[in-house]
Amino acid sequence: MNMKKNMKVVISLSAFCLLVIGLTWVSKSSKVHSESQPQAETRTKSGVQRINDKAKAVKGADRAAIRGLTDEIMSQYGWDAAPSAITDSLKNRLVTAEENFHNGNHKGISELEVTRAVNGFVAKFNTPDYSRTSPSEVREVRGRLLTLLPDFVGRGRVENGKGQAKRQGAPLAEMSPVEAAYMTMAVAYQKMYNPDFQLTQAERRASWIDKHRTSPRSLNKPDSELTTSQKERQQEMDGVLRRVATTTSIQDLFGLPDKVLDVLGIERQKKEDK
Amino acid sequence: MKGITKLVLVAALGFFASGCWIIDLIFGPHGFTVKTTFSTPSSPTQRGVINPDPNVQVIGNFQGFNGLGDPCGNIQSFNVTTGSDGKNHNSDWAAPAVWNFTRNGGHAGCGLKFFFGRAVSCGQTATLDCASALAFAAAPDSIDVNAPPATATFTGEGLDTTYGMPTIEFYDEYGTFFNQTTASVVSADGTWLQAAVPSLAGLYSGIYTVVIVNATADGSRNAVGTSSIWVYGNDLPPPPPDPDPDPGPCVGGVCQVY
């Protein structure tokens, strides 16, 4: 029965792709040519500015403003290409959790939970050891993104546009559900594409000690070339991503985002909430 | 009928999920993807974080096939804008080949950037990164913890004194809040401010993030920009982070396996 079902899926997938190939073939000439695309929607603000603006608009448990922020962060990590049947349910789950967070009915999410969510991919897809992360690495990414997204990162619970008072020595506030989802995507992105973050725990410690040992006096550091090992890891990760994309079942892929939110401690919505 | 609808849905979902990998599987990868990103400014103690840079204009000019395989595309020049995730793919862009790229716009300060002689293989992604600068420049940008200056100046734009003087918040490289101070002078055109440097006693050497916040009518937070300052002179570092193994997806014996 299951076999039959799988066959149906494979046949329909192949048919769909062949249809796409056919259409593509017909619509293109085989000659050498150039391509010019009409300018996409004019965007005067950068992606970072748009996130900051939408985060600023969230002054409490305001569902519409939270939805705007959620749409923006998911859009920047490629979710616009996903079927709305999937993204809508995810966004609703996040928006409800964020509303509850600002109302004081949802706990903040820790860096440990984001770490577990990212390392869940490592376990699931058997990716290399250097794709694991740790709470301090998640904190490091938050610290760096604070410089870009000061209205969003570490803002914590907001009431009437005001966050909690800051005390000296206080770490960044625990994450709201939307910030946690953003950080999970941001850290996973570093692990997939950023050679500086493709390091095992031992290498991260060694790098940290090295960077903090000396007393450099200038903020300007020349760009450095990638080492051979960094290039090899980037190639390996490219291969891993291709393997994951081509061997993971559809059912698995579409069930994944909800499971990630489970690990982050974001409740699933009851049917009547949807 | 219901079965057909189901199959079409599954096929559509499969197409999205796989990027129609069956095409690649049957015919091999075609064309390539351009991806625009920006990274946080480099610093002596921190790693740069890469972020998608959406809606950036990219102009590509083919320089020649590089002989590293059979051609898998025909288009030899393009002028496109990357999507909301900073990507644009075309399965007819010529590869394997050498291309020159120009990116225009995106993250503040990125402007026009050129990438010459990029080798791109079939199905590969050409990443066009922009190392960004922060919105405000600090002067001085490095401070001896044992002899700090009385004041520091931050230059940028958008400072507003309508509802009071802007606040300057200081954080360490992990985002731990350290102190804050209020601007003493702000220029009439809102492009610079001067503030007293708070006590730095006990600070370790490292990069500190400065967040500048405009005062608002309702007291809500309105960050106008950020800057960085290198503090030196107290090199005894705290111990390196995370001596324990990286945590997996299991909590208290219960595993949330994806």
- Show which of B105, B131, B157 is a domain's final residue: B131
Helix or strand or coil: residue B116? Answer: strand
**A203 and B CB contact within 8 Å:** no
CB contact under 8 A, A148 and B90: no
Exposure on the CB side of residue B165, measured as CA atoms within 13 A: 16
pLDDT at B114 > cutoff 70 = yes
Q: Are residues B115 and B145 in the same domain?
A: no
Mean pLDDT over B228-252 rounds to 73
> Do B149 and B165 have their domain in common?
yes
Task: Please state the pTM of the whole predicted model.
Answer: 0.82
pLDDT the model gives residue A180 = 98
- Window A:95-124, CB contacts with B under 8 Å: 112, 115-117, 119-124
Count of beta carbons in the 10 Å neighbourhood of residue B216: 16
Distance CA B93, CA B74 (A): 6
One domain for residues B186 and B95 = no
Q: Is residue B242 part of a domain?
A: no
Determine what percent of chain B is predicted with pLDDT higher than 90: 54
Asked if B94 and B164 sit in the same domain, the reply is: no
B98 and B145 both lie in a single domain? no
φ, ψ of residue B68 in degrees (nearest 5): -95, 35
Q: Is B243 inside a domain boundary?
A: no
Whether chain A has a CB inside 8 Å of the CB on B221: the answer is yes
The mean pLDDT value for A101-108 works out to 95
Q: What is the DSSP string of B44-91?
A: SS-PPPEEE--S-EEEEEEEEE-SSS-----B-EEEEE--TTSEEEET
Task: Give domain status of residue B240, yes or no.
Answer: no
Query: Does B96 reside within a domain?
Result: yes
A186/B51 CB distance under 8 A: yes
Mean of all residue pLDDT scores within chain A: 83
CATH number at residue B170: 2.60.40.1220
- Based on the fold, state whether residues B163 and B190 are members of the same structural domain: yes
Are the C-beta atoms of residues B86 and B39 closer than 8 Å to each other? no
How large is the average pLDDT for residues A63-83? 95
A251 touches chain B (CB under 8 A): no
Residues 6+ apart with CB under 8 A from A87: A74, A79
The CA distance from B86 to A271, in Å, is: 35
User: Of B100, B131, B162, which residue constitutes the final position of a domain?
Assistant: B131
Asked if residue B12 belongs to a domain, the reply is: no
Q: Say yes or no: B112 and B47 in one domain.
A: yes
In this structure, are B141 and B221 located in the same domain? yes
Count of domains forming chain B = 2
Q: Report ipTM (2 d.p.).
A: 0.79
Confidence of residue A156 (pLDDT cuts 50, 70, 90): very high
Q: What is the pLDDT of residue A5?
A: 56
Half-sphere exposure of A21 (CA within 13 A, CB side): 17
Residue B246 lies in a domain: no
In a domain, B5, yes or no: no
What CATH number is associated with residue B69? 2.60.40.1120
Query: Is there a single domain that holds both residue B161 and residue B221?
Result: yes
Residue B121 structural domain = 27-131
Q: Which pair of structure tokens corresponds to residue B238?
A: 């705290």
For chain B, the C-alpha Rg in angstroms (whole number) is: 25
